[in-house]
Amino acid sequence: MAWEIEYTDEFGEWWETLTESCQDDLDIVVDLLQERGPHLEFPYSSGISGSRLGHLRELRVQHKG
């Protein structure tokens, strides 16, 4: 099952400022997110402590390091 990925206008504006290399690295992790959804594990995502939504996670992307 593919998960639906949504993003904000702010993300779209930020995306346009990235280099093509950085966009490629981000694409890889977003593809994993679409494939695994909230089950995407570390090092690609991590839980957010103190969230009122117990399952909230942040996406983690490595680019050149």
CA 11 → CA 6, 46, 50, 58, distances in Å?
10, 19, 24, 14
Q: What is the pLDDT of residue 65?
A: 58
Closest by CA position to 32, among listed 24, 23, 22, 40 = 40
**pTM score:** 0.78
List the pLDDT tens digit at each of the 65 positions of the chain.
789 988 899 999 999 999 999 999 999 999 999 999 889 999 999 988 887 877 778 899 988 85
Contact criterion met (CB below 8 Å) for 19 and 64: no
Q: What is the pLDDT of residue 16?
A: 97
**In this structure, which amino acid lies at residue 64?**
K
Q: What is the pLDDT of residue 42?
A: 93
Q: What is the pLDDT of residue 64?
A: 82
